[in-house]
Amino acid sequence: MSRSHTHPHPHKPVVFDEFFAMGFDESASPFITPSSRHWAKQIPLRSAVIASVLLVGAYLLQIWPVTHALSYLLLIGVYFLAGIPSLIESIEDVARLEINIDVLMTLAAFLSVLIGSPLEGGLLLVLFALSGAMEDAVTARAKGAINSLYKLSPTKAYVIETDGTVIERSVRDINVGTKILIKAGETIPLDSKVLEGISSVNLVHLTGENLPVTKKVGDEVPAGAINYEGALVLEVTHTSADSSIARIIKLVTQAQEAKPQIQRWFDSVSKRYATTVILLSALFATTLPWLVSIPYLGFEGSIYRAIAFLIAASPCALIIATPIAYLSAISSCARSGILLKGGVTLDALAGCQVIAFDKTGTLTLGNLRCVGMNALQPSGETQLKEALSVAVALEQNAVHPIARAIIKYAEDKPTELVQLQEFRSIPGYGLEAIYQGKQVFIGKISYLAEKLPAAVKGQLNDFANEIQRKGDLLAVMLFGNDVYVFRFEDTVRPKMQETLSQLKAGGWQLLMLTGDHQESAKKIAETVGIENFKADLRPEDKLNIVSQIAQEKGLAMVGDGVNDAPALARATVGICMGQVGSSTAIEAADVVLLHDNLDQLEWLMRKARKTLRIVRENLTLASGVILLATTPALLGYIPLWLAVVLHEGGTVLVGLNALRLLDKAK
């Protein structure tokens, strides 16, 4: 995505501070007319390209003596387009007593004019401008993730006043508890809870699932959701500054600002380095004639050589080698629905040898599936059918995963609608009612077993143990004097086996950590292909295991971001499977998979390794150019124009190399 695409909708008003906070392209400025927007797109790149054309023309006109004057006229255009912006920025930096690489480059370019080498100075300015425009383009791509998030929610909402009137108000002025009206087809502006109405909403921008989700009274809906059908009256639960989208934007911002160690080191030494190079250049310019008997001026003079040295020693490529690589990788991950807390996370991921997974909600979807119903005593088909109908009647108003699984199981079975009396819920244990004078109960075996005769109780325990040895879960039902057992299994996440096979092929060791019992853990581990697993873990057990492995080998922990928050925080890298808007997930994890896209984990791990490899390549290339060019330039073996080409050529090469990281996950 180029910067020209990152602008607000032409018919949507732009708030002054929002425009600058969102990093829009110049063409999106609310202070220029629509007819002028086209000319404002990518101004730095346009200026650099025009300056390069003028420079080529100036060079060609230098060949014929009669056109020298015209050549210098074109050079003035080069210095105006590519040099004046750099000169203004450098003067501002010097005024702040800040000597940096930009000051160094600008000084070299304009000093080239004084020693009779304006073409070389123009070449330096053009290449410097082109490399700067390229760096801006990469940075804009990284900002694209934030810009798209800003666009998800409207800037205004319809507020319902206490007297029932509806007025339009900025979302910034809406407090928690305010009632807002959302009509069909509108986008929900703030995190809210449904007070009135029922409708289907689309959460594709937030969850990646392009399917409508029914929302009714009491349900929460995040900002950015699109209302499909009926009107909804909502109660605001979070202000615009604390919404789901605002928290994600904060995370992306942290990712861009959290610099890897090597980049922080370069930032800290760059100012001292630039000052040192300028002082050394001045020293060489004044002392070389005394040391090696050369003149001050001319192409063999000390000033010429000192400027060539200054250009060759400038670490532009070295300085941008790391940030461009990390920004490209972070941008690529963000566009694939993976948010990272900075380049430090990529470094840490590249060093992880072990990947640990939570079971429920990570390797599995956490959705129970009923796989069978068995009668403890001999029972006919009619009795089974009647018992299933009663079970559905008991569970139809419950929201527990077991209830949903039983209702789903009964959908393709011949059941009848039955009426229950004296229905009541037993918190923590199950549901109870009376049907045709018989007591009926469905729920935990521990509650029912104590009410059964000893013989039946022993038979039930034996049957339950057999089911649990197979790794299944169960619920029991009492229907008069008859006992039935429902068997459940968790649903493995789609593509999980393929994803884990790819990780193992890539050399990563896999581990499953779960609090579930041994047999259930063993069944899931065998299904997905994980040989090493640990079950029956208490939270402190899981934390100790994660801590030990993280210290020895480096460990990436993948969990749901809520129950596994301590382990996620203790791991080398915590990767969260939490839904968008979970504050616990965002705070505990280093990586948030917005779409629960665990199938992209292998791509992410390879991306981390590739980023580290490209950073090393860039540093080697940039350092090599400096080491190979500085001494020959000082000795007069490398002319000024070649020092410029080597310097800026190295900068362009490391930038292009870093752009290889912009590839998006399939």
Region 305-332: mean pLDDT is: 77
Calculate helix-pair angle for 381-395, 401-410, nearest 10 degrees.
Answer: 140
What is the mean predicted confidence (pLDDT) over 41-63?
81
Give mean pLDDT, residues 416-420.
86
What is the pLDDT, as a whole number, of residue 6?
41
Higher pLDDT, 153 or 422: 422
8 Å CB contact between 578 and 222: no
**Integer Cα distance of 13 and 298 in angstroms:** 59
Sign of CA dihedral 530, 534, 540, 545: negative
Helical pair 118-150 and 640-658, crossing angle rounded to 10 deg: 20
354 pLDDT band (50/70/90 cuts)? very high
Confidence at residue 7, expressed as pLDDT on a 0 to 100 scale: 43
The tens digit of pLDDT for each residue in 521-535 reads 888 898 899 999 998
Alpha carbons 141 and 152: distance in angstroms, whole number: 18
Q: Work out the percent of the chain whose per-residue pLDDT is above 90.
A: 10
Mean pLDDT, the chain, as a whole number? 77
Decide if 376 contacts 463 (C-beta within 8 A): yes
DSSP alpha helices (H): ranges in 470-600? 496-505, 518-528, 539-552, 565-570, 583-588
Exposed e or buried b per residue across 520-531, where buried means at least 16 C-beta atoms within 10 angstroms of its C-beta: bbbbbbebbebe
Does residue 138 register a pLDDT over 60?
no
Reduced to 3 states, what is the DSSP secondary structure of residue 648? helix
Q: Distance (Å, rounded) from C-alpha 278 to C-alpha 259?
A: 27
Tell me which residue of 131, 56, 129, 117 sits closest to 308, measured CA to CA. Answer: 117
**Selected residue with higher pLDDT from 424 and 264:** 424
Phi and psi for 420 in degrees, rounded to 5?
Answer: -110, 155
The answer to whether the CB of 593 falls within 8 A of the CB of 345 is no
CB atoms within 10 A of CB 572: 21
Output the pLDDT for position 583. Answer: 52
Residue 4 predicted with pLDDT over 60? no
Give residue 254's pLDDT. Answer: 54
How many other CB atoms are found less than 10 A from the CB of residue 627? 11
Asked whether the beta carbons of 101 and 622 are under 8 A apart, the reply is no
State mean pLDDT over 446-470: 82
Please tell me which residue, 68 or 618, carries the higher pLDDT value: 618
Query: If pLDDT is split at 50, 70 and 90, which confidence band does 226 have?
Result: confident
Confidence class for position 13, pLDDT limits 50, 70, 90: very low
Buried b (16+ CB within 10 A) or exposed e, 311-335: bbbbbbbbbbbbbbbbbbbbbbbbb
What's the mean pLDDT in 81-93? 84
For 188-218, the pLDDT digits (tens) are 888 889 998 888 787 654 543 444 567 888 8
pLDDT value of residue 255: 45
Question: Radius of gyration (Cα) for the chain, nearest Å?
Answer: 34
**Which domains are delineated in the chain?**
3-41 (no CATH), 43-146+258-326+613-662 (no CATH), 156-240 (2.70.150.10), 327-364+493-608 (3.40.50.1000), 365-491 (3.40.1110.10)
| More confident: 68 or 326 | 326
Confidence of residue 10 (pLDDT cuts 50, 70, 90): very low
Q: Can you tell me the mean pLDDT for 390-402? A: 81
Please check the confidence at residue 550 and state whether its pLDDT lies above 60. yes
Q: What is the pLDDT of residue 270?
A: 67
Q: What integer pLDDT is reported at residue 290 of this predicted model? A: 84
Candidate ranges 48-57, 295-304, 643-652; pick with highest mean pLDDT: 48-57
Task: Output the pLDDT for position 556.
Answer: 93
Q: Name which of 365, 254, 282, 270 is nearest 321 in CA terms.
A: 270
Percent of the chain past pLDDT 70, that is, above it, reads 78
Residue 235 pLDDT exceeds 60: yes
CB 321 within 8 A of CB 615: yes
What pLDDT, on the 0 to 100 scale, is given for residue 203?
Answer: 65
Active site residues: 358
**Confidence band for 93, pLDDT divided at 50, 70 and 90:** confident
**Type of residue numbered 165:** T
State the pLDDT confidence band at 147, using cuts at 50, 70 and 90.
low
Cα gap 342→373, rounded to integer Å: 50
* Residue 92 or 583, more confident: 92
- Residues 265-303, buried b or exposed e (16+ Cβ, 10 A)? ebeeebbebbeebbebbeebbeebeeeeeeeeeeeebbb
HSE on the CB side for 586, CA within 13 Å? 20
Mean pLDDT for 398-427 is: 82
Asked if 485 and 467 count as a contact pair (C-beta separation under 8 A), the reply is yes
Regarding predicted confidence, which is higher, 247 or 502? 502
Question: 119 by DSSP, 3-state: which?
Answer: helix
Overall average pLDDT of the 261-269 stretch: 62
Q: What is the 3-state secondary structure (H, E, C) of 361-412?
A: HHHEEEEEEEEEEEECCCCCHHHHHHHHHHHHHHHCCCCCHHHHHHHHHHCC
Tokens 């082109």 locate to: 130
Parallel, antiparallel or unpaired: strands 354-358 and 555-559: parallel
- Residue 108 pLDDT > 80: no
Tokens of 169: 């108000």
**Phi and psi angles of residue 632, each rounded to the nearest 5 degrees, phi first:** -60, -35
> Using one digit for the tens of pLDDT, what is the confidence trace for 610-646?
998 998 888 888 888 778 778 787 777 777 777 777 7
The predicted model scores a pTM of: 0.59
pLDDT of residue 498: 92
Contacts by 411-418, CB closer than 8 A, 24 or more apart: 413/385, 413/388, 414/385, 415/385, 415/388, 415/389, 416/385, 416/386, 416/389, 417/389, 417/393, 418/389, 418/390, 418/393
- Check residue 131 and give its pLDDT: 65
Which of 448-452, 483-487, 551-555 has the least mean pLDDT?
448-452
The pLDDT value recorded for residue 383 is 85
Residue 256 reports pLDDT greater than 70: no
b/e for 155-183, b at 16 or more Cβ within 10 A? Answer: bebbbbeeeeeeeeeebeebeeebbbbbe
Q: Distance between CA 621 and CA 650 in Å, rounded?
A: 7
Predicted confidence (pLDDT) at residue 475 exceeds the cutoff of 90: no
Beta carbons of 27 and 10 less than 8 angstroms apart: no
Which of 99-113, 245-259, 536-550 ranks highest by mean pLDDT? 536-550
Q: What's the pLDDT score for residue 501?
A: 93
